[in-house]
């Protein structure tokens, strides 16, 4: 009964939006790049999203046309509802609502947190570079004395990853193709009834490998796995993962892993 009431509240609070999107995928797959690009296309201009002053998961465009709830799975149920109610006027005024969840499968769409009418987008990134980004980010944060449990790659990570690879739902947004191919981007947008291709300048385009937040050159996107440090620990880890979870990697990725050389 509590979940039913919570769903009715969420449905009502977001009922005024023209379109609602549910974006899901593994953390470090490009979720924020996808959302930033989608917002630009929906509003037909380069948009900067600003965090709410009371919860960092909630973001709004300057025009107020877009409300973005980032990784709602990290919010406790009561806090999620409380924050929605706090921002109710802004949410009811938004034309577009985007709700994301990271390290979740498509089943999360059935959660009461996601309106039933949501259009679903699955964010995909090649496994090798996805894991390279997470490993590098874990190492960077450790050097800063910070924890990063949500970036860990244990059995649950691989179970979720494999479920997403084998049973994706909705439109599949591919990070590498999005980054490289204008024609692919236009085809993807056309499936959503959109036609405005404006790449986000900063939102979500930060890198685990550097402090800048600029668009990564095409030549480097597919080679992130060769840049991970400490190199010997990375090679040992990724070879072990490829051996234990071979189906998570493509034949080309297995070949690339075999070619990695320790310093």
pLDDT at 142: 65
CATH of domain 2-259: 3.40.50
Give pairs for 105-109: CB < 8 Å, separation 24+. 105/24, 105/160, 105/163, 105/164, 105/167, 106/24, 106/164, 106/167, 106/168, 106/169, 106/170, 108/24, 108/73, 109/22, 109/24, 109/169
**For residue 27, pLDDT beyond 50:** yes
Q: How confident is the model at residue 150 (pLDDT cuts 50, 70, 90)?
A: confident
**Least confident range of 65-69, 155-159, 225-229, 249-253:** 225-229
The CA-atom distances, in angstroms, between 156 and each of 35, 100, 162, 164, 238 are 25, 19, 10, 12, 16
Q: List, for residues 166-195, the tens digit of each pLDDT value.
A: 999 999 999 999 999 999 999 999 999 999
What separation, in Å, do the N-terminal and C-terminal C-alpha atoms of the chain show?
Answer: 59
pLDDT at 173: 98
pLDDT at 147: 62
pLDDT at 145: 62
Q: How confident is the model at residue 148 (pLDDT cuts 50, 70, 90)?
A: low
pTM of the entire predicted model: 0.91
**For residue 115, pLDDT beyond 90:** yes
Q: What is the largest CA-CA distance in the chain?
A: 59
């Amino acid at each position: 009964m509590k979940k039913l009431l919570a769903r009715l509240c969420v449905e009502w609070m977001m009922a005024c939006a023209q379109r609602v999107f549910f974006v899901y995928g593994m953390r470090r797959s490009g979720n924020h790049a996808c959302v930033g690009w989608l917002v630009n296309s929906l509003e037909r201009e380069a948009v900067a999203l600003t965090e709410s002053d009371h919860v960092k998961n909630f973001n709004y465009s300057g025009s107020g046309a877009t409300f973005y709830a980032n990784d709602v799975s990290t919010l406790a149920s009561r806090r999620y509802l409380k924050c929605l109610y706090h921002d109710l006027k802004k949410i009811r005024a938004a034309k577009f609502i985007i709700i994301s969840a990271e390290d979740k499968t498509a089943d999360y769409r059935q959660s009461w947190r996601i309106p039933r009418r949501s259009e679903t987008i699955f964010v995909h990134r090649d496994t090798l570079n996805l894991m390279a980004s997470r490993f590098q980010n874990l190492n960077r944060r450790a050097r800063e004395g910070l924890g990063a449990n949500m970036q860990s790659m244990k059995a649950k990570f691989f179970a979720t990853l494999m479920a997403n690879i084998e049973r994706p739902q909705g439109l599949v947004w591919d990070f590498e193709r999005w980054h490289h191919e204008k024609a692919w981007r236009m085809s993807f947008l056309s499936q959503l009834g959109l036609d405005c291709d404006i790449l986000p300048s900063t939102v979500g385009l930060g890198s685990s490998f550097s402090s800048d937040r600029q668009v990564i050159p095409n030549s480097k996107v597919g080679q992130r796995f060769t840049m991970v440090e400490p190199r010997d620990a990375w090679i040992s880890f990724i070879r072990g993962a490829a051996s234990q979870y071979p189906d998570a990697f493509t034949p080309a990725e297995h070949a690339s892993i075999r070619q990695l050389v320790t310093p």
